[in-house]
Structure 1
Amino acid sequence: MCGIVAVHDPTGPDSALGERMLDRIGHRGPDGRGTRTVGPTWLGHARLSIVDLDHGAQPLPSDDGHWAVVNGEIYNHARLREVAPRDFRTDSDSEAALSAAISDDPDALGDLRGMYAFAVAHVDGDLVVARDPVGVKPLYWVRTGPATLFASEMRAFDAVHRPLVESFPPGHRWSPTTGLARFRELHVGGREIKDRDLALRLLRTTLETAVHRRMMADVPLGVFLSGGLDSSLVAALMARHADEVGGTVHSFAAGTAGSSDVVAARRVAEHLGLEHHERLYDADEVLAVLPDVVRSIESYEPSLVRSAVPNYLLAQETARTVKVVLTGEGADELFAGYSHHRDVAEADLRQELLDSVSGLHNLNLQRCDRVTMAHGLEARVPFLDRDVVDLAARLPISWRVPHRHGLEKALLREAFAGWLPDDVLWRPKEQFGEGSGTAEVMARRVADLVPDPDWAGERVAGLPAPRSREELAYQRMFAEGLAGVPAALLGRFADA
């Protein structure tokens, strides 16, 4: 996990611009910094060392003059090495991305399994930029005159470029010669599974494989544990492979003292035999970190901010112990876990869920990436593994409908019966901001953020009219560091 910058300009790349951009995202890679000019492209990399600690520094070279900067992890890199038509110089998983980018095989990029955004440049002017199909890893770009700029975060770009910032589309590649093209669809389809027992078995084995893949690391790792279904299942699956990480799985929870998430997480950790850590905070601490949180997640959407605050404080605590953490992101979008899914007609729910997963890169995944990388911590999301996403799409939509008076994600709960205490397995969902007690704290103190009772009608230049005093407060914080970013990148939504 890292931060990357690329400045491509046929008239000559502006290295000073690249250095400024890399400076602004240095927090993403506290373990090293590397830059290189390769023909018309300047590459910059801020490294968080996870795999091949000694030889994985970037930009990473090939034997034929290509250089790569990669953000993310390629989980199947060992298998790709076995079939690649070239020798690898390092044990870094990033070299598999480099190999795929310069391969003559048109399907090579699609064979990468993991989360990634990368740029591979050659002195002859060739450049390949690509992003994983879900968009787990962030990538933004600016096209201005002859130059094309790329970076892991919006804050990297100079103020003059921010109005031109676009989200680089997941599952796409770009080169200066061929332009933008999709290399893999998010949903590949397949025959619907009609045998419920088979579906339950596949859910167990597919998710376990996804979790196991994401335990690949040369550094300690852990799990964010809210005590809800999704993170508890990830923790349970990690515990089955604890011997592969030295016999210990670290779990981390955050919230106000006595909040439901903290209590439930403690119970799950004890049941699974995890080494548990807690970050308890009060209202003053919440308000103190709000400006940093808004700047980190690059959004002022209230639901996103409320859930990001406990995540930010949790990541801060977690980074003291481990460098990699697994999370439960994506389960609600795959298995209809949000309250508003109850109001969607069954005939429309399948498309609703497909759209939700496709839009995660601009919402929850943005929050997840930013709050962890603000503290030099890598987050991995097993529910968004390619095989899990494909499996969920093959399940009859009637099995995923959250019945009006029943619990959401019933199929997922049924698949893992006996893996967790029943009161955890069948615990009703709470939004992270609610379960951690943060939403209640913020509701009580929101008046302190915007004390003027006549706030209605006030606008922050370049941003939509705020829907509440709370949102206005976050817009003000946002504008301090990210003024000019297009509002279209800052999605609004009901459930975070």
Structure 2
Amino acid sequence: MTSRTRRCPRVVCGIVAAVGEVDVQLCREMLARIKHRGPDDTGEIRRGNVWLGHQRLSIMDVAGGHQPMTDTERTTYLVTNGEIYNHRHIREDLGHDLFETGSDSEAALHALIVDGPAGLARLRGMFALAFMTEDGDFLVARDSLGVKPLYWARRDDVTLFASELRAFDPADRPLVESFPPGHCWSPNGGLVRFADAVPARVRPARRAEEPGVWDEALLKSVRETIVTAVENRMMSDVGIGVFLSGGLDSAIVAAVAAEYARRHNQPLPTFAVGAPGSSDLAAARIVADYLGTEHHEIVMSKEDARAALPKAVRAIEHYDPSLVRSSVPNLLLAEYASKRVHAVLTGEGADELFAGYSYYHEEPFTDPDALQAELVRTVKELHHLNLQRCDRTTMAFGMEARVPFLDRDVIELALSIPPEHKLVTPEKKLLREAFEGWVPEEILWRGKEQFGDGSGAKDVLEDAVRTSPDVRAADGVELRTREEAAFYSIWREELAGIRSESTLGLFATT
């Protein structure tokens, strides 16, 4: 790294972009609507028929982290949201002399400068980005899993992009669609896939002759791959914590993070939330005591849950009951944690990779081939559901959530394991055995419990929906329960104008 390189934080932010007949005032209004994603710094630039805007949370090196980012000749510009985990390798490949800051985003900038759209294949991480040149070239892209959100609205005169639905003007909301993960778009090249959430080559290595019987080599491979994924997400100049639900997945993440923190002489804050006496709070406390973390508990009263309910629906831009139930405690947790750390690790994705949900163990998924297909499907659909909740509840308070189980290497390894091994009981037995000794025994073998249930959110929210509208079809959406109708009414009020079939498909439930 050259002497002119400045240290720079990874970027927690929101982006807006437009290409075509640009209305600068409209673009600024869009950016203002997502200021919560990065309340400390606003950047914008227009070149010809392209406009880029960026909202940033300034953690350190305010000057070096400002976006839109540009090269030394000021001929290319980039706004991005997320992290490029392999930015150091990209620097090695491209040459350190190209770089002026330590920002992982600058690695994306130079990858695109050197290779054009093909440079996207270099990037490992979670990101949504928009890139333009002085000559009028323009490119937008989203990571293969859709960990970071991106939406677009295509009008005849202009194409608009933003990190959240709420950014779009009400008049444009009927046109809004989710930008597909693993794709890039340019005015000349159109929509092109550059990466798959689950690469086509990922297939189970073999059929398991003895389901539930595996050797130490497989356990070691699972353990080491997950450890590496967690440690890659611990590298930061800012405080990092862990959302600790008390379940297996977050306990594993916390255990690896705690070991990393000890080696680097760093504290590790952990955060748990639940109703008084909830099982999640008790289990999280056991894990925190075992690991010796700086533990924080948020005890959620019925009044807290009721007050947070409309905020949660608005934040996640969703009305699915199970997602809303988990979002209420998540929002309260994020609000508290954001005052103490700038990023958190979560256990998202482990259930989809290792068959943790109970329905995976019911017909028709007791057939190994059917289970494998369902696991692949649900991993690909995470950006519509759990990842949307994960991003929005944390970014509502300018804090970033990182998801180590959804590292590319973890996904490829987990989905190459014979599905028969995932049908044995207890669920996720292989994952449990891989981390024996890392977490307390009573947590290692604790049964699966949905976060909304274990936290007590489901119970404390029951009263809030007893007076909700009757179940009915609305705007082309079949509302299945009184609870869903209540959540939909909040969602619709916040995002009035989003009625098109393509957009409502963003909220399809499983």
Distance 1:144 1:245, change over 3 A: farther
1:325 pairs with one of 344, 360, 370: 344
Which residue does the alignment assign to 1:477?
490
Deviation at 1:353, TM superposition (A): 0.3
2:438 pairs with one of 413, 416, 419: 419
Which residue does the alignment assign to 2:247?
228
Please tell me whether residue 72 in structure 1 is matched to residue 111 in structure 2.
no
The residue type equivalent to 2:418 in the other structure is P
The residue type equivalent to 2:266 in the other structure is G
Instruction: Tell me how far apart the structure 2 counterparts of residues 463 and 289 of structure 1 sit (CA, whole Å).
Output: 27
1:61-210 equivalent positions in 2, closer than 5 A? 61-64=70-73, 65-84=75-94, 87-104=98-115, 107-188=118-199, 189=201, 192-193=204-205, 196-210=215-229
Structure 1 stretches lacking a partner, 5+ long: none
Please tell me whether residue 240 in structure 1 is matched to residue 249 in structure 2.
no
- Normalised to the residue count of structure 2, the TM-score between the two structures is 0.91
Please tell me whether residue 492 in structure 1 is matched to residue 509 in structure 2.
yes
1:400 pairs with one of 415, 422, 426: 422
Partner SS for 2:161: strand
The residue type equivalent to 2:224 in the other structure is T
Which residue does the alignment assign to 1:263?
282
Instruction: Tell me how far apart the structure 2 counterparts of residues 98 and 47 of structure 1 sit (CA, whole Å).
Output: 17
Counterpart contact for 1:312–1:371, Cα < 8 Å: yes
Instruction: Tell me how far apart the structure 1 counterparts of residues 464 and 443 of structure 2 sit (CA, whole Å).
Output: 31
Distance 1:110 1:327, change over 3 A: same
Counterpart contact for 2:112–2:118, Cα < 8 Å: no
Which segment is superposed worse, 436-445 or 213-222?
436-445
Deviation at 1:418, TM superposition (A): 1.3
Deviation at 1:51, TM superposition (A): 7.0
Counterpart contact for 2:204–2:419, Cα < 8 Å: no
Which residue does the alignment assign to 1:376?
398
Counterpart contact for 1:5–1:18, Cα < 8 Å: yes
Aligned residues: 482
Which segment is superposed worse, 311-320 or 190-199?
190-199
Which residue does the alignment assign to 1:360?
382
1:330-345 equivalent positions in 2, closer than 5 A? 330-343=349-362, 344=365, 345=367
Which residue does the alignment assign to 1:36?
45
Deviation at 1:190, TM superposition (A): 5.0
Which residue does the alignment assign to 1:286?
305
Deviation at 1:299, TM superposition (A): 0.6
Q: Deviations over 1:322-365 (max 9, x none)?
A: 01000000001111111110111322010100000000011100
Structure 2 stretches lacking a partner, 5+ long: 1-11, 207-213
Which residue does the alignment assign to 1:22?
31
Counterpart contact for 2:203–2:415, Cα < 8 Å: no
Partner SS for 2:103: coil
Please tell me whether residue 46 in structure 1 is matched to residue 65 in structure 2.
no
Partner SS for 1:368: helix
The residue type equivalent to 1:26 in the other structure is K
Which residue does the alignment assign to 1:60?
69
Counterpart contact for 1:3–1:152, Cα < 8 Å: yes
Deviation at 1:184, TM superposition (A): 1.5
Which residue does the alignment assign to 1:466?
479
Counterpart contact for 2:471–2:485, Cα < 8 Å: no
- Normalised to the residue count of structure 1, the TM-score between the two structures is 0.94
Partner SS for 2:101: coil
Counterpart contact for 1:121–1:127, Cα < 8 Å: yes
Partner SS for 1:429: coil
Which segment is superposed worse, 379-388 or 391-400?
391-400
Partner SS for 2:98: coil
The residue type equivalent to 2:243 in the other structure is F
The residue type equivalent to 2:446 in the other structure is R
Q: Deviations over 1:426-454 (max 9, x none)?
A: 00010000000111112244214x2x6xx
The residue type equivalent to 1:262 in the other structure is L
Which residue does the alignment assign to 1:387?
409
Counterpart contact for 1:117–1:131, Cα < 8 Å: yes
Instruction: Tell me how far apart the structure 1 counterparts of residues 295 and 58 of structure 2 sit (CA, whole Å).
Output: 24
Deviation at 1:191, TM superposition (A): 7.0
The residue type equivalent to 1:21 in the other structure is M
Q: Percent identity?
A: 52
Counterpart contact for 1:75–1:216, Cα < 8 Å: no
Which segment is superposed worse, 97-106 or 276-285?
97-106
